[in-house]
C-alpha cells in the first residue's frame, strides 16, 4: 500500500484539512452549549429540555455513524466528508431563522445527521492513508482539531450573542464554516488506498454484531461513552452556577471560558505520542485521575480555581479520548478498523446525548455537587474498564 509519509508534501495538507474539518464539525455541533441557560430563560424550558440543543444532534450523529461507513464504501471517503461539511454549514445558517425553539431543535437534529459524515470517516481515512508508524501522532493531531473546533464554536457564540443576537451568531458561524468546507474540498489529497466496495445489508449487520461482541473492543467503546458523557455533562450545566449569584458571568465571559478546551490540543498530542511507546492502560488511568481532579476543583468557591478545574478536566478528557480512540485502532483487526471506529464513535456520542441530558435532572435535584459526584463515579468505572482490559 502507498502510504503518505511525514516527508511528503501531502502529509501537511491532510493534517490541515483534518483540522478544518474538525473545526466545522465540532464548532457547529457544540456552538449552543454556552447558551443552554439562555434558552432556558428565553423559551421557559427546563435545563434538560434546553440541553436537547446538544443531545438531539449528538443522538442523531450517533445513530448515523452506523450507516455512513457503509455508504462511504460505495461513494468514497473524501466525497462523504466534503458533502457532510457543506450540509452542516448550510444547516447552521438555517438555524438562525428559527421562529421557535421547536424548529431550532428540528434543525439541530438534521445537523446531527449531516455532521456525522466527517467523524465517521476521518479516522478510517487516516488509518488507510497515513503510515502506520505515525498513526499515534496523527490521531493526536486529529483529536486536537476537535478541541480547536469546539473551542471556536463555543467562544464565538457568546460574544456575538451579547453584542447582536444568538441568530446572528449562528449565521456568522455557519458562513465561516462554509468557507472552511470549500478549502477542505479542494485541498484534501485524493485517497491512495481506498477501494470502492459494496456490502450486502446482512453482511453489514453481521459485521456490527461481531464488533459489539468483541471482548477486546467493547470495553473501549464503554470508555468513550463514559468519558464523553462526563465531559459534556459538566460543560452543559456549568453556565447555570456561573451566571447566577455570586458570579453573574455574561455570555461573552462564559463563552471565553471555553478557551480552556485548548489544553486539549496539548494533551491529545502528548498522549497520542506517549501511546506509541507506553501502556495505554496506564495512560488511561492517568487521564481518569486528572479528569476527577479537575471536577473536584470546580467545587471550590473561588472562580479562578473553578476555571483551573475546568481546564484540568478538559486536559484529562482529551488525554483519555486520544488514548481510547487510538487503542481501538490498534485492537481492531485490519479489515474491521472502520467498523470499530464507527462503533467507538457511536458509544462516544451516545454518552454525550444520554449522560449530558441526564445531568439536567442532577442539577435540578442535587445542584453542582450532584454533577461532580456523578463525574467522579463515571471516571471510576472508566478506570476499572481500563484496569481489567486484556491488552495494553
* Residue 205 belongs to a domain: no
Reduced to 3 states, what is the DSSP secondary structure of residue 211? helix
> What's the confidence (pLDDT) of residue 137?
62
The span from the CA of 392 to the CA of 386, in Å, is: 9
- Cα separation, 298 vs 291, in Å, equals 11
Q: What is the pLDDT of residue 1?
A: 64
Q: What DSSP assignment string belongs to 97-128?
A: G-SSHHHHHHHHHHHHHHHTHHHHHHHHHHHH
What phi and psi values does residue 233 have, to the nearest 5 degrees? -60, -45
Q: Would residue 2 count as lying in a domain? A: no
In a domain, 208, yes or no: no
Residue-level pLDDT at 300: 95
Give the cell for residue 262: 485548548
Cα of 240 vs its chain's centroid, Å: 22
Instruction: Name residues whose C-beta falls within 8 Å of residue 176's C-beta, 6 or more positions apart in sequence.
Output: none
In this prediction, residue 362 carries a pLDDT of: 92
In the chain (392 residues long), the average pLDDT of successive 10-residue segments reads: 74 84 90 89 88 91 81 79 94 93 94 89 80 69 75 84 90 94 90 66 73 84 95 91 87 82 80 81 93 96 93 93 85 72 86 91 92 96 84 55
Does residue 19 form part of some domain?
A: yes
For residue 368, is it within any domain? Answer: yes
Q: What is the DSSP letter of 345?
A: H
Residue 308 lies in a domain: yes
For residue 209, being part of any structural domain is answered with: no
Would you say the pTM of this structure is higher than 0.95? no
Q: What is the rounded distance in angstroms from the CA atom of residue 268 to the CA atom of residue 286?
A: 13
Looking at the structure of the chain, the number of domains it has is 1
Amino acid 305: pLDDT: 95
Q: Look up the domain containing 41 and give its range.
A: 9-190+214-387
Tell whether 39 is covered by a domain.
yes
The packing angle between helices 77-94 and 68-75, to 10°, is 120
Query: What's 224's domain CATH number?
Result: 1.20.1250.20
Amino acid at each position: 500500500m502507498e502510504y503518505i509519509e511525514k516527508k511528503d508534501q501531502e502529509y501537511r495538507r491532510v493534517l490541515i484539512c483534518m483540522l478544518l474539518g474538525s473545526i466545522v464539525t465540532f464548532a457547529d455541533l457544540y456552538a449552543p452549549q454556552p447558551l443552554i441557560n439562555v434558552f432556558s430563560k428565553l423559551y421557559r424550558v427546563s435545563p434538560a429540555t434546553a440541553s436537547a440543543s446538544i443531545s438531539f444532534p449528538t443522538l442523531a450523529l450517533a445513530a448515523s455513524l452506523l450507516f455512513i461507513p457503509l455508504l462511504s464504501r460505495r461513494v468514497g471517503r473524501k466525497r462523504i466528508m466534503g458533502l457532510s461539511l457543506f450540509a452542516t454549514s448550510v444547516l447552521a445558517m438555517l438555524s438562525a431563522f428559527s421562529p421557535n425553539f421547536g424548529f431550532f431543535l428540528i434543525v439541530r437534529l438534521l445537523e446531527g445527521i449531516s455532521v456525522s459524515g466527517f467523524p465517521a470517516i476521518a479516522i478510517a481515512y487516516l488509518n488507510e492513508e497515513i503510515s502506520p508508524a505515525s498513526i499515534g501522532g496523527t490521531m493526536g493531531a486529529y483529536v486536537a482539531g476537535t478541541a480547536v473546533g469546539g473551542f471556536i464554536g463555543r467562544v464565538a457564540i457568546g460574544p456575538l450573542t451579547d453584542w447582536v443576537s444568538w441568530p446572528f451568531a449562528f449565521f456568522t458561524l455557519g458562513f465561516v464554516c462554509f468557507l472552511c468546507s470549500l478549502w477542505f474540498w479542494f485541498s484534501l489529497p485524493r485517497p491512495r488506498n481506498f477501494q470502492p466496495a459494496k456490502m450486502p445489508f446482512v453482511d453489514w449487520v453481521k459485521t456490527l454484531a461481531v464488533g459489539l461482541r468483541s471482548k477486546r473492543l467493547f470495553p473501549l467503546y464503554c470508555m468513550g461513552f463514559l468519558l464523553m458523557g462526563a465531559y459534556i455533562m459538566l460543560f452543559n450545566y456549568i453556565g447555570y452556577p456561573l451566571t447566577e449569584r455570586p458570579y453573574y458571568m455574561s455570555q461573552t465571559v462564559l463563552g471565553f471560558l471555553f478557551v480552556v478546551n485548548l489544553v486539549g490540543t496539548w494533551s491529545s498530542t502528548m498522549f497520542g505520542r506517549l501511546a506509541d511507546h507506553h501502556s495505554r492502560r496506564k495512560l488511561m488511568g492517568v487521564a481518569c485521575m486528572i479528569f476527577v481532579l479537575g471536577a473536584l476543583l470546580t467545587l471550590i468557591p473561588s472562580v479562578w480555581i473553578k476555571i483551573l478545574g475546568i481546564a484540568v478536566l478538559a486536559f484529562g478528557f482529551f488525554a483519555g479520548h486520544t488514548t481510547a480512540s487510538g487503542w481501538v485502532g490498534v485492537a481492531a483487526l485490519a479489515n474491521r478498523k472502520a467498523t470499530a471506529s464507527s462503533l467507538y464513535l457511536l458509544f462516544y456520542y451516545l454518552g454525550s446525548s444520554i449522560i449530558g441530558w441526564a445531568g439536567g435532572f442532577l442539577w435540578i435535584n442535587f445542584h453542582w455537587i450532584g454533577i461532580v459526584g456523578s463525574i467522579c463515579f463515571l471516571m471510576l468505572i472508566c478506570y476499572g474498564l481500563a484496569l481489567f482490559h486484556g491488552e495494553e
